[in-house]
Structure 1
Amino acid sequence: MIQNIILLLFFFLLPLLLFFLIKPSSSSSNIPKSYPIIGSYLSLRANAHRRIQWLSDVVRASPGATFTFRRVLGTKSIITANPANVQHILKNNFPNYRKGSIFVGTLSDFLGNGIFNTNGEDWKFQRQVASHEFNTKSLRNFVENVVDTELSDRLLPILSGAAANQEQTLDLQDILQRFAFDNICRIAFGYDPQYLNISFERSNFAEAYQEATEISSLRFREPLPLLWKLKRALDIGSEKRLRIAVSQVRDSANKLVREKKKELQDNSSLRSADMLSRFLSSGHSDEDFVTDIVISFILAGKDTTSAALTWFFWLLSKNPRVEKEIVKEINEKSEAPVYDEVKEMVYTHAALCESMRLYPPVPTDSKEAVNDDVLPDGTAVKKGMMVTYHVYAMGRMESIWGPDWAEFRPERWLERVEGGGSSWRFVARDSFSYPVFQAGPRICLGKEMAFMQMKRVVAGVLRRFRVVPAAAEGVEPEFITFLTSQMKGGFPVNIVQRQV
């Protein structure tokens, strides 16, 4: 009897000893080893510094580009880079794959019931009201008034000053985040925070927002949710910092909502002036709910386009041929009105798509299965299981992009116009092979607006300047991700006046 108990204890405690005591080492094989109780945690911990890249290697090496990941205490999740599976999850069997309890619970302190952290009627309502902001009239206003003003009055003068002082180094990632933050606040909330300014002072709100984003994201990396929940209950460590940061974010967002409410009371004609006004005029006047909406849309507008542009400018610096083609297109379109110029930048559009293929702003996205299911490649999905489609990995699949997938080549998105000389026609890929903007019912509402903003920035900057990385030759930036991707440590650059 005692011997049996000892054996049971041995077999139970051995995996725990592995968990806590063994120093993990990277395996030469892309497929991680799995152990009782702890699953593949050791491999995950060994590759924590390059988690996105490692999981990309794993899924690309797996049959059918799908891998079932064994986690701590026997839980499993599925990671896929198979377009047929993505279409099944995001469209064909959409009702079965939702923002599940794990995802919603992990982000609820920060995002509450905002559009990115909810399902059902709340999600439908927010999407319906927000959709009015993305018609042609609003897009034209956004490009011609909001983006162009921010570009001309703030971004270009800062770059011009740096070009005049050749010793000055700018963090372009920080500048683009500030630029995008001002843009989303102005178009969505009718409020100009003036965050992009010559002093580069960091507001308490911006710092708190960044910290809340990072800590909320790191919750997903805990081997067990119990660990961050325990820290939250005890109000210690990162969870204490998160509580303080979220409180600061919500206070700032609440203030914005209250001021907008007062504006609407004083002037009812403003009811459809911006997205926030529409939400407040729709009958949903609960401040906490509208605050959740504000926080989510800042995340969408601030961190995604800035991430895409950061990697885009870095790739251009390494590919002068592409930069030359873009500058040529910019100069050819320079006489057109601003909105028309942006619409007609076909080569630049292709280059942005190509950049986001390699460095997607949101490199992975997860859903939770409502019921048991079977994916098109035969992978069994159990009720409650997390299913992740790996956008970063999909951009590196030879089966999708061909043997030259590693090349930055905008031409893969283009075809020559017959009889059009050097004119190009953009050829889109289906959104299930290229789910950078999601796909199906949850496809990104702001996709067109994002492209408009990015192309206007590219045209404004490259017409006058060259962006030169300040890092030593051959040093590549590190791709990291929280809720969206970033360059670790920022993107230090020098600005050089372009010779005409």
Structure 2
Amino acid sequence: MLEGFLGTGIFNSDGETWRLHRSMARPFFERDRVVDQSRFGRHTDRLKSLLNMLSDGDNSPFDIQDLFSRYTMDFITDFLFGLNSRTMIPPHLITKESEELMSAFDALRKAASTRIRIGSNWPLFELFFDRMKGPRQTVDAYIMPIVNEAIEKNRMIAQRDDDGTRTFLEYLVTVSNDPNLIRDTLVSFLLAGRDTSASLLTFMIYVLALYPDVYRQLAEEINGVVHEDRPCTFNDIKNMRYRESYVL
């Protein structure tokens, strides 16, 4: 059902294949790497700039879910590949490749949702047109050259010590040289890192708009911990007890 999107990735497999994907990915996601704030900072600064620009206008409404989807897409492509998909830049500067990647990924996600909703009879609704084929080709046209280049680069250089700055792709090519396996792993984590986070952020903003008292208390806690003279740290976030209760 979802093979056209996720291949045999961790969210679309079981048994030995699932264990293989899990064993490949788990060592990379150690605590120090996951809580590294440097990548968050770069993309959050861009998000803040866009929000300030939009709020300084004529107060016209805008689609914040689309903005969060772009934010999480830029971050997760940076985290996975070390490349910024650059979807959070002014419309006249966005590249055709970035827009096509966003559109194709959204099309794959919608096609997957439709198939899940229809159930086992979904092939009857796609007898003459595979909804995933075109978007998958677009996504693969972006990902596969990056994967193949990383595999070739890993073959040509001596073993590199992990100083905590390696991308997920740079790690994956040290444990496998199968481009399709690596592609399926990356797309699975791209889905997990982009859509779930964007949905969470959107819902959090919606709830804050409904409950101004919660917004005020949350803002008071954040302003009491975070200061402009230094970036927010993971320990800062851990110390925000009200924020933790709100998110959970």
Task: Using structure 2 for the length normalisation, give the TM-score.
Answer: 0.87
Match of 1:85 in 2: none
Give the AA of the match of 1:261.
Answer: I
- Which residue, out of 88, 96, 105, partners 1:196? 88
Distance 2:225 2:50 in 1: 24
Match of 1:206 in 2: 102
Match of 1:229 in 2: 123
The answer to whether the 8 Å contact 1:129/1:278 transfers is no
| Partner SS for 1:338 | coil
Match of 2:13 in 1: 118
Larger helix proportion of the pair: 2
Percent of matched pairs sharing the same residue = 24
Q: How far off is 1:270 after superposition?
A: 5.1
Using CA pairs under 8 Å that are at least 6 residues apart, name the structure with larger relative contact order, 1 or 2: 2
Distance 1:246 1:321, change over 3 A: same
The answer to whether the 8 Å contact 2:143/2:183 transfers is yes
Q: How far off is 1:274 after superposition?
A: 1.9
Match of 2:207 in 1: 315
Q: How far off is 1:170 after superposition?
A: 2.3
Distance 1:175 1:337 in 2: 22
- CA deviation profile, 1:270-307 (whole Å, cap 9, x unmatched): 5751222222111x212111111111111000000110
Match of 1:344 in 2: 239
Give the AA of the match of 1:130.
Answer: A
| Partner SS for 2:132 | helix
- CA deviation profile, 1:132-183 (whole Å, cap 9, x unmatched): 3332321332x2x10011111x111111111221334321101111111111
Figure out how many residues of one structure are paired with residues of the other and give that number.
238
Distance 2:25 2:85 in 1: 21
Structure 2 residue runs without a partner (length 5+): none
The answer to whether the 8 Å contact 2:28/2:171 transfers is no
Distance 1:270 1:184, change over 3 A: farther
Distance 1:270 1:151, change over 3 A: farther
Q: Tell me, yes or no, if structure 1 residue 278 matches structure 2 residue 171.
A: yes
Task: Using structure 1 for the length normalisation, give the TM-score.
Answer: 0.45
Distance 1:271 1:220, change over 3 A: farther
Distance 1:270 1:122, change over 3 A: farther
Distance 1:157 1:268 in 2: 41
Distance 1:296 1:345, change over 3 A: same
Distance 2:193 2:141 in 1: 20
Distance 1:184 1:305, change over 3 A: same
Distance 1:342 1:270, change over 3 A: farther
Distance 2:61 2:53 in 1: 11
Q: Tell me, yes or no, if structure 1 residue 295 matches structure 2 residue 187.
A: yes
Distance 1:274 1:301 in 2: 14
Distance 2:42 2:2 in 1: 34
- Which residue, out of 35, 38, 44, partners 1:151? 44
Distance 1:267 1:329, change over 3 A: farther
Bigger Cα displacement from structure 2, 301-310 vs 115-124: 115-124
| Partner SS for 2:40 | helix
Distance 1:167 1:312 in 2: 21
Match of 1:164 in 2: 56
The answer to whether the 8 Å contact 1:172/1:310 transfers is yes
Structure 1 residue runs without a partner (length 5+): 1-105, 354-500
Give the AA of the match of 1:116.
Answer: F
Distance 1:316 1:254 in 2: 40
Distance 1:231 1:140, change over 3 A: closer
The answer to whether the 8 Å contact 1:264/1:270 transfers is no
Match of 2:32 in 1: 137
Distance 1:349 1:231, change over 3 A: same
Distance 1:274 1:172 in 2: 28
Give the AA of the match of 1:229.
Answer: P
Q: How far off is 1:108 after superposition?
A: 1.2
Q: How far off is 1:316 after superposition?
A: 0.3
Distance 1:279 1:326, change over 3 A: same
Match of 1:334 in 2: 226
Alignment of 1:32-111 (within 5 A): 106-111=1-6
Q: CA RMSD in A?
A: 2.1
Give the AA of the match of 1:255.
Answer: P
Distance 2:184 2:70 in 1: 21
- CA deviation profile, 1:103-156 (whole Å, cap 9, x unmatched): xxx111111111111112222222223223332321332x2x10011111x111
